[in-house]
Amino acid sequence: MSKILKFTQFSFRDLIVAAAPTVLTIVGICLLAYWLVDPAPPRTVRLGTGQENSAYEDFGKKYAAALAKHGVKVTLVQSAGSSENLRNLKEGKVDIAFVQSGSTNEEAAEREGLSSLGSLFVEPLWLFLREDKGQPPITQLTQLRGKKVNYGAKGAGSPRLFRQVLELNGVEKDEVQRFSLANTPATVELLEGRIDGLVFTSAPEAPLIQMLLQTPGIRLFDFNQAEAYSRKLPFLTHVVLPQGIVDLGRNIPSEDYNLIAPTATLVARDDLHSALVDLFVQAAATIHGGAGWFQQQGQFPSAKYTEIPVDPEAAKYYKSGPPFLQRYMTFWLANFFDRMWVLVVALGALILPLSKVIPPLYVWRIRSRVYKWYGQLRAVEQRVEEAPAATRMQVYEEQLKRLDEIEELVNQVSIPLSFADGLYGLRSHIQFVRKRILFLMGEGSPAGVEAVPV
């Protein structure tokens, strides 16, 4: 009969098994905190743009291309313009949109849960008029009385702004025949002579603006009182369209034009993920950061020129530039490490208390290899004590064989040396039960049996 006992200095397997529940619990709680406390940014976002052939639509496509490089899909949602974009933001139909300054105020924006990601560019109020032969050119807005003018589609920013401008000139709303066509059909109506003028608020990059500036018989209105307008309506700025800026060779325009201009602002809902805010602001710096007809290099995007409170993440960008990790890593990798602080906090809160559970579990697992045999040993004693007189000797012999089997299995138990005393105690108790059975069979004496404490 083999009496070789298997001992080890330390049981890594038992430690791993003992620690597994705690480790899995910690990992599970950390992952839950990681996704609930600071969820990953979504892979899709809805951007409110503008009408067909508008600057908003053109810039929206550029933002979609910029964010697509980082694996974020931008769905462009067309609208009539600034006012409709603002309404869509409030109703949750879009996540972010182009909004014209002057469309709302700080109190209303905070109440609706909106924040600005910065102003992007100036979008002048363009008033294009037909040149009628034999008629003096229109130099004052009071001369628009009785004229047919397209203010812009309902939901655009230009109707509201142009009404304010006319009111400053004392022109009542019923004194001008108002039309509310979209930009493209309104341009057709102007060229066909069915209306006398049309109003845009748009960046000069808009295709319709470029076309109308070069169309014979169409004249741009000169706001020669632009500085006064900017004082009356603080969200407006005075900008100048320089002579020859459209085409130097043909000297278009042939003179400087004074214009009044609100600024286009990128407005987002407060629940837009902060990582996406960073992406949009970085894209804005690339798209709008260059010099233009009305801006200097680096003037836009900016935290200025907006009445809507600037998002803290956007303000941080304008102050310090892009996040440190995003300067050297891909967006998603940088975002992952940036969110790791959640795991650090969760680990700090869980590791210390839960780690105290591991040593007792480890000890219990090792000792259970010994203790489980005491149940078998006690079963042997019970059968001996309850053996009927007629079959008593047969029962004694069967239980002696059972003890040999138990001892053989116990000798194969692998146990660390620090717990060897328990294994030796078990072997002593097996021997004690064996002597007792032999005594009962008449092969020993009570005096020869030395009790081994259990």
Alpha-carbon distance 14 to 21, whole Å? Answer: 12
User: CA of 372: how far to CAs of 121, 194, 246, 379, in Å?
Assistant: 79, 100, 93, 12
What is the domain count for the chain? 1
Q: What is the DSSP string of 283-349?
A: HHHHHH-S--SS--TT--SBSSS-SSPBPHHHHHHHHH-S-TGGGTS-HHHHHHHHTHHHHHHHHHH
130 within domain boundaries: no
- Phi first, then psi, for residue 200 (nearest 5°) are -125, 150
Nearest to 355 by CA among 29, 31, 19, 28: 19
Instruction: Calculate the alpha carbon distances from 411 to 6, 35, 52, 414, 426 in Å.
Output: 7, 50, 86, 8, 10
Place of tokens 């146990």: 415
**Cβ contacts of 330 within 8 Å, gap of 6 or more:** 70
379's CB contacts (< 8 A; 6+ apart) are none
Q: What is the pLDDT of residue 448?
A: 42
Do the Cβ atoms of 410 and 424 come closer than 8 Å? no
Do the domain assignments include residue 435?
Answer: yes
Q: What is the DSSP string of 420-447?
A: HHHHHHHHHHHHHHHHHHHHHTTSS-GG
The pLDDT of residue 439: 87
The verdict on residue 317 lying in a domain is no
The whole-number pLDDT of residue 345 equals 66
Task: Please give the Cα distance from 129 to 451 (Å, whole number).
Answer: 118
Predicted local confidence at residue 347, as pLDDT: 65
In a domain, 220, yes or no: no
Q: Comparing C-alpha atoms, which of 209, 201, 214 is closest to residue 248?
A: 214
Q: Is residue 398 part of a domain?
A: yes
Closest to 309 (Cα-Cα) out of 85, 63, 111, 161: 111
> Taking the model in full, what pTM does it have?
0.65
User: Distance (Å, rounded) from C-alpha 201 to C-alpha 176?
Assistant: 19
- Per-residue model confidence (pLDDT) at position 422: 83
Query: If we measure between CA atoms, which residue out of 100, 27, 4, 64 comes closest to residue 408?
Result: 4
Query: Which strand (E) or helix (H) includes residue 237?
Result: strand 237-241
**pLDDT for the residue 7:** 52
Q: How many CB atoms lie within 10 A of CB 255?
A: 11
Domain span at residue 405 reads 358-444
Distance of alpha carbon 7 from alpha carbon 413, whole angstroms: 8
Give a yes or no: residue 382 inside a domain: yes
pLDDT score, position 450? 46
Are the C-beta atoms of 358 and 19 separated by less than 8 Å? Answer: yes
Asked if residue 368 belongs to a domain, the reply is yes
pLDDT one digit per residue (tens) for the chain, 454 residues: 444 455 555 555 655 665 677 677 767 766 776 666 566 789 999 999 999 888 899 999 999 999 999 999 999 999 999 999 999 999 999 999 999 988 888 888 888 999 999 999 999 999 999 998 878 889 999 999 999 999 999 888 899 999 999 999 999 989 999 999 999 999 999 999 999 999 989 888 888 999 999 999 999 999 999 999 999 998 899 999 999 999 999 999 999 999 999 999 999 999 998 889 999 999 999 999 998 888 889 899 999 888 899 999 899 989 888 877 777 777 777 666 666 666 666 666 666 666 676 677 767 777 777 888 888 889 998 988 888 888 888 988 898 999 999 888 888 877 777 777 888 888 899 899 898 888 888 853 344 444 444 3
What pLDDT shows up at residue 371? 81
Omega before 353 cis (within 30°)? no
Domain assignment present for residue 394? The answer is: yes
Signed CA dihedral, 392, 393, 396, 398: sign only: negative
